[in-house]
Structure 1
C-alpha cells in the first residue's frame, strides 16, 4: 500500500512529507495513520513532545486544509506542527518577490509629513523635504536631493545600502540602525555608501570601496564601478 505520508529525519528535527500526487483526503488519512504508529511505538518508552514540519510538495494548502492538519494533531498530545511548507507559492507572494527584485525609478517630491513605502531597489531622482520620509525594502541609489529621512532595508534588513549624496538628510537608516545627521558629519559626499558593518553599526564608505563593503552586491552589478 502506498504511503501518502512519510516521516523523514532532518538536521533540524522531523519532517512529514504529504504526497502531492495523492488525493488530499488520502494524504490526511495517511498522516493520521503515521501519527498513530509513532504514538504506539513511543507507548513503551518515555513520552517526549515532538514538533513536526509538514511538507506538502507541489500542493498549496488553503487555510481550511491547514486547519484539518491541526485537527488531526490535536488528537495526539505529544505531537505538534512546527510549520507547513510547500514547493509552490501564491500569486500574491510571487508578485511580491518580483516587486522586491525590481528597481523602481522615483522622480517625485516627498513633502513634510509624507511617507512613501516601496519594495525592491530604488533609484531616487526626486526631492525629499525636511519631515518627508522614504522607506525602501531594498537598496537606494540617490541622485536627487534628500533633506528628510531615508531608509534602505525597511523594516529590518541590515544587508542593504544607501548609495549617493545624503549629507543634507535629517536621518539615514539601514534596517533598524539609524543616525541623525548634522553639519559635523564629514564622512558623506556624493559618492558615499551608507551600510551596516560587522559590528551592526551604521557606517560610511566610498563607492570605490564597494567591493570590500559588500562583495555580494559588487558581483551582482558586474564587478564594475564607474567613478
Structure 2
C-alpha cells in the first residue's frame, strides 16, 4: 500500500505530502513511520533541527487534526512543522479575500469618537467629522468630505493610496506612515494622490502621474486616466 505521508525535497527545504484520500489514522501512522526513519538516518550524522512544510492537497484539515499533527511532531526533538498548506481554503477565508478585492461604496457620516474599519478598497462619499476615523485595508477614493483621520493600507500596507481632496483632514495615514495636515504645505484637490515613496515617507502626487507613482495599480485599472 502506498504511504500516506511522503517526503519530498524542495529548493527551500523539506516537504511532507499527505495523501488527500487516505484515512486520517493511516496518515498519522505513516507520518510517525516516516519521522522514525528520518530520526534513525540522522542519528548517524550531525544532529540538526528540521522544519517541514506539510502539504495536504485538496483536503482541508480542521484545527483539531492540525493540532494532532503538531502533537506527533512534538515527540521528535529535532523535527517541527513550519507550515501546513492546501489547495483549498475555508469559506471564511474565501469571503475575506473577496472583501479585500472588492471596492466598497461608503456613504455615511463618521462622527467624533467613531472608528470605522473596512476591508478592501473604498469609494468614500460621506463625511468624516473631526475626531472620527476611517481605517481601510486597501485604497481610498475620496469624493466626500474628510475632516478627521483617514488611513489607507491599515494597519501596515505601504503600497496603498488615498486619491482625492483631503486638505481638511486632521491626519492622513498610509500603513504606518502619517502626516498631520495642519502642518502640511501641500496643495490638494480632487486629483491629489497620497502615497508612500521609495524612502518610506508619505508623499503627494497627481492622478495624471499615477503610472509613475504606482505602475501596478495603474495597470490594474487598465492604464486609463481621464482628464
- Cα distance between partner residues in 2 of 1:164 and 1:184: 16
Q: Does 1:166 align with 2:166?
A: yes
1:182 is paired with a residue whose SS is helix
TM-score normalized by the length of structure 2: 0.97
TM-superposed CA distance for 1:187, in Å, is: 3.7
- Cα distance between partner residues in 1 of 2:51 and 2:184: 54
Give the match for residue 200 of structure 2: 200
TM-superposed CA distance for 1:184, in Å, is: 4.6
Q: Over residues 69-117 of structure 1, what are the superposed CA-to-partner deviations in whole Å (9 max), with x where a residue is unaligned?
A: 1121122111111111111111111111111111111111111111111
Q: Does 1:63 align with 2:63?
A: yes
- Cα distance between partner residues in 1 of 2:204 and 2:151: 14
Query: Which has the larger displacement, 9-18 or 215-224?
Result: 9-18
Contact 1:103 1:120 in 2 (8 A): yes
TM-superposed CA distance for 1:189, in Å, is: 2.2
- Cα distance between partner residues in 2 of 1:174 and 1:83: 30
TM-superposed CA distance for 1:11, in Å, is: 2.5
Q: Does 1:151 align with 2:158?
A: no
Q: Let me know the Cα RMSD of the aligned residues.
A: 1.1
TM-score normalized by the length of structure 1: 0.97
The equivalences for 1:19-98 within 5 A come to 19-98=19-98
1:36 is paired with a residue whose SS is helix
Give the number of equivalent residue pairs. Answer: 227
Is there any run of 5+ residues in structure 1 with no aligned partner, and where? Answer: none
Is there any run of 5+ residues in structure 2 with no aligned partner, and where? Answer: none
1:94 is paired with a residue whose SS is helix
The equivalences for 1:124-135 within 5 A come to 124-135=124-135
Give the match for residue 140 of structure 1: 140
Give the match for residue 121 of structure 2: 121
The list of structure 1 runs, each at least 4 consecutive aligned residues, that deviate by more than 6 angstroms after superposition, is: none
